[in-house]
Amino acid sequence: MNFLLIDPDSENRNFIKSILSMRFPEWNLLQESTDFDLLQKDCLPTSELDLIISQARIGERLLFDHLPLGNKQIPIVLIHEDESLAIQSHSHFCLGYLLSPLSEKSVIQIFQKIRMIQNYSFSEKSKNWMNRSFLKHSISEVYKKRFLAKVGNKYVYIPVESIAYFYSDQGITYLVEARYSSKYIVEYSLLELESKLLDPFKFYRINRSIIVHLDGLVEIKPYLNGRLSLTLSVKSEEALVVARERVPEFKSWLDQ
101 DSSP assignment = S
Read off the pLDDT band of 118 (50, 70, 90): low
Integer Rg of the chain from CA: 21
Instruction: Tell which wins on pLDDT, 37 or 240.
Output: 240
Whether the Cβ atoms of residue 195 and residue 23 lie closer than 8 Å to each other: yes
User: Helix 104-117 and helix 10-23: axis angle, to 10°?
Assistant: 50
Residue 31 has pLDDT above 60, yes or no: yes
* Of 155, 159, 199, the residue nearest 175 (C-alpha): 159
Task: Summarize pLDDT for 179-233 with one digit per residue, the tens.
Answer: 888 999 999 999 999 888 898 889 999 999 999 999 999 999 999 999 999 999 8
Evaluate if pTM is beyond 0.85: no
Report cis status (omega within 30 of 0) of the bond before 101. Answer: yes
Taking CA atoms, 107 is separated from 94, 125, 239, in Å, by: 14, 24, 30
**How far is residue 188's CA from residue 194's CA, in Å, rounded to a whole number?**
10
